[in-house]
Amino acid sequence: MKENKILIEINCSASKIFKFTLNPINTPLWIDNIVREETNESPTRIGTEYKNLNKQGKWTMYEIVRFEPNRMFEMKQKNSSYHVRYTLEPISDNKTKLTYFEWVDEGKLEEPFSSAILEKLKEILESSR
């Protein structure tokens, strides 16, 4: 598999989802394999670097390569052909369609996200309303 696309509707505003998913403190709350995430600057913009530490003790680095506030951001993994894009489409003031799209330019997608990960994100965001 070279790409993976998951769509989910979340009863939350696009701006809240955008801020939550970009905040490195929140990442371990909804992605089980990540124990810590850091960024080199705030606020986030094109060129911002994120790095996360997984449960196996491995750091992975990403760079923001596309960025449209409250609408979309795309990260590219450093030294890899892996990309991930989050796109937010408001359905109403408090309901948003999130499209999670990840792909590799070469090879195969090693550890694709499952819908369960996005369901956990949805649960956290909807319970904190």
* Cα–Cα distances in angstroms (integers) from residue 102 to residues 60, 87, 93, 97, 125, in the given order: 15, 11, 27, 16, 21
Q: How many CA atoms lie within 13 A of 96 on its CB side?
A: 24
Q: Which domains does the chain have, with CATH numbers?
A: 3-32+66-127 (3.30.530.20)
* Cα–Cα distances in angstroms (integers) from residue 61 to residues 52, 71, 98, in the given order: 7, 23, 23
Q: Which pLDDT tens digits describe the chain residue by residue (129 residues)?
A: 799 999 999 999 999 999 999 999 999 999 999 999 999 999 999 999 999 999 999 999 999 999 999 999 999 999 999 999 999 999 999 999 999 999 999 999 988 999 999 999 999 999 976
